[in-house]
Structure 1
Amino acid sequence: MSELIIRTMLPHELKVAIEWARIEGWNPGLEDATLFYQADPEGFFVAELAGDIVAVGSAVRYDTHFAFCGLYIVAPEHRGKGYGLALTKHRLAYCGKRNIGIDGVLENVEIYQRVGYQPYYQNKRFQKCATAHDVSSTIQDVTVQHIDAVIAYDKQCFPAKRDMFLKGWLQQKNGKALCVIENGQVRGYAVRRQCVEGYKVGPLFADSKAVATQLLGALQQDIIGEIIILDVPENNPLAIELAIGEHMEVVFATSRMYQHGLPDIAHHKIYGITTFELG
């Protein structure tokens, strides 16, 4: 009988994981393989049996205190054999004593609790067809000169420094990044990326619902009629109000779970998370 081997994913194999995500209906971004890898090149893993990949998963270590696990898929023909659990234990070991977050599918919450995760709230996927909006004069494209200020703003809303990832995320091909600047200060920013179907917005971080509304509206102007998706944390009631006010409908949800408690960040400024895979 062949032995299960768990090893670090090679760069080209991340495209396999993204393709599996497409088959699962997760609708990945067109540039996700390249951009995800930049977050932590050592944090992507495969479980291999007799030379064939049977499971994939990520464990991105952002700093010495925080990590996020995602992109977890077991090949359908190999489910229920313990390969996924072995991969999960390997990823947890890689993360060490860090607080680890995940966005777990709702039907598997109890399984995740068995390995130490606790649920805190749901992230709800809202979507609609993009519509026309008035665009505020405070909206600006994120250019090279804005990147440092946007990265500094991001630190309020994410549990760890992620400068390298954000530099790629903000400037990605087929993407659009906008910010609101008032009195020389960033008041919010948002990124839109093209996916297999339509476009996803994430993150959408803002000082207020009004700023978030401006950003989301501006991101629709050049894709009117296309599907636009926003993953909204229910622990920010104003974010839910924003999505409903935009006539978006819930199509999916995950449970945001952590190993060592809810991070102390500006949850009231999070109107859309970055991704289910990377937090």
Structure 2
Amino acid sequence: MPEPLVIRNMTRAELDQLVGWAALEGWNPGLHDAGLFWATDPEAFIAADLGGELIGGGAITAYYDEFGFMGFFIVRPEFRGRGLGNTLWHARRDRLLGRLRPGASIGMDGVFTMQDYYAKGGFVFSHRNLRFRVELPERALPPAADEEVVPLEHVRFDEVLAYDRTCFPAMRPAFLQGWIAQPDALALGCLRRGRLSGYGVVRRCLEGCKVGPLFADDAAAAEALYVQLAGFAAGGPLFLDAPENNPTAMELVRRHGMSEVFGCARMYLGALPPVAEQRIFGVTTFELG
């Protein structure tokens, strides 16, 4: 008899393995992603175990019981094509539904080639999130003269949390506290007359740096934040995952000569969450939303 596939919670060490596999897949994780993701929701990481060996995994992050996000779905290449990933994916979806209140939505960013598969599992396409890359010069770009950009630590956390909630389907204080204070990163806010009009984070990754999130009231605030975040990554590649359904975000990446290198389909199971799409210039992560 073949060994049964066991679906169980991951250990912290196994999450490091998952992040390592993500790097091999070319997902370019941040230097501190594993620890930050685990601190957000340790119950989110689900393992596929075959004969006592980790062969796959993924995340089913629950933001309270209001919104869920499926990401980090990986099966080791030598175990693909045997139906094991199908078992893991459905088990993750059903477990996440069990962690949320009835009627709560679940989001995911899936590679385009798997979009039809995810649709069979109940997910409906919303828009494309596209990864852009640019090689930055050693010298930082000049800052916008008419926008006040400050370290995000100078802004009250409850203001940051409230702004983030306009762009994300649920409150995520535990995640944000770690994300904006992580090492090897820079978090900035844009202020207008003392009010937060946007914020962004850039973090070092295995290759270069990634901006995420980049949330702003309008093009001017997004530009001011992007330019100073890019200064952190001067001399190397910079990546930004921008939503195609925000034309102003597409204008920003074109203005800065960024090239599309990857993309995912944003899909939802359940109702489309009401968020301020015009404020989203860069999503936070493809793994936790």
Give 1:183's aligned residue.
193
Which letter maps to 1:178?
L
Give 1:112's aligned residue.
118
RMSD: 1.2
Give 1:37's aligned residue.
38
Which letter maps to 2:243?
P
Deviation, structure 1 residue 86 = 1.2
Of stretches 245-254 and 93-102 in structure 1, the one that deviates more from structure 2 is 93-102
For residues 217 and 72 of structure 1, the distance between their equivalents in structure 2, rounded to whole angstroms, comes to: 33
SS at match of 2:42: coil
Give 1:211's aligned residue.
221
Give 2:7's aligned residue.
6
SS at match of 1:247: coil
Is residue 186–residue 232 contact of structure 2 (8 Å, CA) maintained in 1?
no
Matches within 5 A, 1:18-167: 18-96=19-97, 97=102, 98-131=104-137, 132-136=140-144, 138-143=148-153, 145-167=155-177
Deviation, structure 1 residue 208 = 0.5
The one of 232, 251, 257 aligned to 2:261: 251
Unpaired segments ≥5 residues, structure 2 = none
What are the Cα deviations for residues 16-48 of structure 1, in whole angstroms up to 9, with x where unaligned?
Answer: 000000000100000000011122110101100
What are the Cα deviations for residues 224-271 of structure 1, in whole angstroms up to 9, with x where unaligned?
Answer: 221000000001000001111111000011100001132111000000
For residues 9 and 258 of structure 1, the distance between their equivalents in structure 2, rounded to whole angstroms, comes to: 25
SS at match of 1:197: coil
- The count of corresponding residues between Structure 1 and Structure 2 is 279
For residues 236 and 269 of structure 1, the distance between their equivalents in structure 2, rounded to whole angstroms, comes to: 8
SS at match of 1:34: helix
For residues 196 and 115 of structure 2, the distance between their equivalents in structure 1, rounded to whole angstroms, comes to: 37
Deviation, structure 1 residue 130 = 2.3
For residues 234 and 191 of structure 1, the distance between their equivalents in structure 2, rounded to whole angstroms, comes to: 20
Of stretches 197-206 and 138-147 in structure 1, the one that deviates more from structure 2 is 138-147
SS at match of 1:156: helix
TM-score when normalising by structure 1: 0.97
Runs of 4+ in structure 1 over 2 Å off = 144-148
For residues 151 and 168 of structure 1, the distance between their equivalents in structure 2, rounded to whole angstroms, comes to: 12
Which letter maps to 1:4?
L
SS at match of 1:91: helix
Of all paired residues, the percent bearing the same amino acid is: 42
SS at match of 1:173: coil
Of stretches 223-232 and 26-35 in structure 1, the one that deviates more from structure 2 is 223-232
Deviation, structure 1 residue 167 = 0.2
Unpaired segments ≥5 residues, structure 1 = none
